[in-house]
Amino acid sequence: MLNNTPIMLAFVDIETSGSTPGRDGITEVAVITWDDGVVERWSSLVNPQRSIPEFIQGLTGISNEMVADAPLFEELVPELKRRLAGRVFVAHNARFDYAFIKQGFLAAGEDLRAPTLCTVKLSRKLFPKEARHNLDALTARHGLLAQGRHRAMADADLLLQFWQILMRDIPPEELDAAVHELLGRPSLPSHLDASLLVELPTGPGVYLFYGENDLPIYIGKSKTIRSRVLAHFSSDVRSSKELSLAQQVRRVEWRETTGEISALLLEADLVKSMRPTHNRQLRLNQNVCTLVLDAPQAFPQVQSLSIDEALPEQSGRAYGLFQSMTEAKRSLRLLCEEHGLCQAVLGVEKRKQGEACFGRQLKKCQGACEGGESLERHHLRVMTALARLKVRDWPFAGPAFLREGEALLIFQDWAYLGTAHSEADLEDCLAGRRQIQFDRDTYRILLKVVGQMQPFDRHQH
C-alpha cells in the first residue's frame, strides 16, 4: 500500500537464449504477484524452439535437454495473462523482459499492455549516490538473500525482497512519488498504448505520429527517440502545437537510423512523401528556384531559374534557394533597394538601354542605368550583395561519403544516394547516381557536415 492506496505488482524475470526479441527465445519465466502484501509464486521452463548457446547454458544452468519437453511460450500465455492482468509489471531492466514477453504474446495472437516499473531506475531514483544498480549490486547493498542467481524465480524473488526493503526503509511519500514518476502514466495520452514507455528506442531515428483514420499528422527526428517522443506528452506547460498533437495522436511508429544525419535526411524524405499536417518547414520543393548572375557584359542581369535548370550548368553562379520565381524576383528587388542597385540593369524593371530607372529618379540608384556609375563597379556591388546567398559548389569530383557508426552515407552533388552497410549496398547507392536530383533540405543538412566528408575512392572500399 502506497499512501493508503492498494497497489498490485507482478515481479517478473525471464531467462532467454539470447538478447534479441523475435530472434531469440524465452527459456524460463517466473512471476511473483504481490497484491498489497499477499504473495503468490509461479514459474515454468519454456521450450524456446531453438538451441541455447553453451555460454548461456553455463550462466543459467538451463540446458537444451531441460527445455526439450517444456511447454511452448504460447501455451503459457493464458496463465501469464491472468497473472499480469491489472498489475504493474516490475522487472530489473524492465525494457528487456517486457519486450520478450510482449513479442511472445503477439506471436500467440494476443496483446500485452501493462504499466512497467524498472527496478534499475527505481534504485537510481532512490539511491542516486550509488554507482551501481545491477542485481548483484542491489543484493550486496541491501543484504538480499540470493538463491540460484540467473534462474527466473530466484531473480524475481530478489526483486520482491528489494521491494519489501523499500517499503520498510523509505518514507511512504518518497516511495510513492518515485514509483508514480517512473510508471510514467501521465506522460502518455490515455488513448496510446502504455507499452510505448518500454518499447520506444533510446537511439537516433525518426518517429511518426498517426491520428484518426491512421493518417500521419507529425514526423520528427531525434538523437534519442524515446526522450523526444515522451517530451511531446510531458505534463509540463506545452505549446498549442504540442497540446494539439497530444489530443490527436492515436498511434506512434519509429524508424531507427545509424546516426543523427541519417535521421535528418530520413525525416526530410518522409515529410515530403507523407505530408503530415503538423509539419510546416519541410515541404516538397521540386520547384525550387535560384538567381543566376550573367557574366559581365554591357548589361549583366540576374535571372531567376528553377534549380534543375541552374545546376550544374550554372555552377558557381547560382544564388539563393526560393520556393517560386515570384519569391526569387521579390528577393532580388529587396536586394536592389537595400544596396542601391539598379533594377533596370538587373532586369527587374523594364527600361530602354541608357534610360534612367525609377529608382534613379528617387535617388535610390547610383546611375548604372544612364552612365552615372560604371557597369564594372555596379557589377562588383551586385556580387557583394549576392555573396551571402551563393549556392556552394559540390566540393568533390564525384561521390563522397560520411561515416556514421559502422555505415557509410553516400552523397554526390548535394544528393543523398543511400546508406551502405556492405559492398552490395555500396553498388546500389552508386547506381542511383543516374537519378540525382537537387533537394534544398538535403543541401542545407549537408552544408553543416560537408567538412567531415571524404571523397569516395573505389580502391579503398
Could you report the per-residue pLDDT of 157-180, keeping only the tens digit for each? 999 999 999 999 999 999 988 998
Q: How much is the pLDDT for 89?
A: 94
Could you report the per-residue pLDDT of 240-284, keeping only the tens digit for each? 566 677 778 899 999 999 999 999 999 999 998 898 988 876 555
The span from the first CA to the last CA of the chain, in angstroms, equals: 62
pLDDT band at 193 (very low <50, low <70, confident <90, very high): confident
Closest to 217 (Cα-Cα) out of 258, 245, 186, 185: 245
162 Cβ contact list (under 8 Å, min separation 6): 119, 123, 138, 142, 144
How many domains are contained in the chain? 4
The answer to whether residues 30 and 133 belong to one domain is yes
Q: What is the pTM of this model?
A: 0.57
Domain boundary among 137, 152, 187: 187
The answer to whether residues 74 and 113 belong to one domain is yes
The answer to whether residues 112 and 20 belong to one domain is yes
The answer to whether residues 223 and 242 belong to one domain is yes
Domain boundary among 346, 364, 389: 389
CA distances, 22 to each of 100, 101, 111 (Å): 7, 10, 15
Domain boundary among 389, 417, 437: 389
The answer to whether residues 312 and 379 belong to one domain is yes
Give me the amino acid identity at 252.
V
Q: Tell me the mean pLDDT in the region 425-441.
A: 78
Residue 432 lies in a domain: yes
* Residue pointed to by grid coordinates 569516395: 456
The Cα 407–Cα 287 span in angstroms is 32
More confident residue, 238 or 339: 339
Name the residue range of residue 356's domain. Answer: 289-389
More confident residue, 79 or 236: 79
The answer to whether residues 267 and 205 belong to one domain is yes
Q: Tell me the mean pLDDT in the region 74-82.
A: 96
Q: Tell me the mean pLDDT in the region 226-230.
A: 87
| 27 close to 46: Cβ distance less than 8 angstroms | yes
Using omega within 30 degrees of 0 as the cis cutoff, is the peptide bond preceding 276 cis?
Answer: no
Q: Tell me the mean pLDDT in the region 401-418.
A: 91
The answer to whether residues 125 and 147 belong to one domain is yes
Closest to 304 (Cα-Cα) out of 295, 317, 316: 317
The answer to whether residues 176 and 262 belong to one domain is no
Closest to 184 (Cα-Cα) out of 117, 254, 260, 89: 117
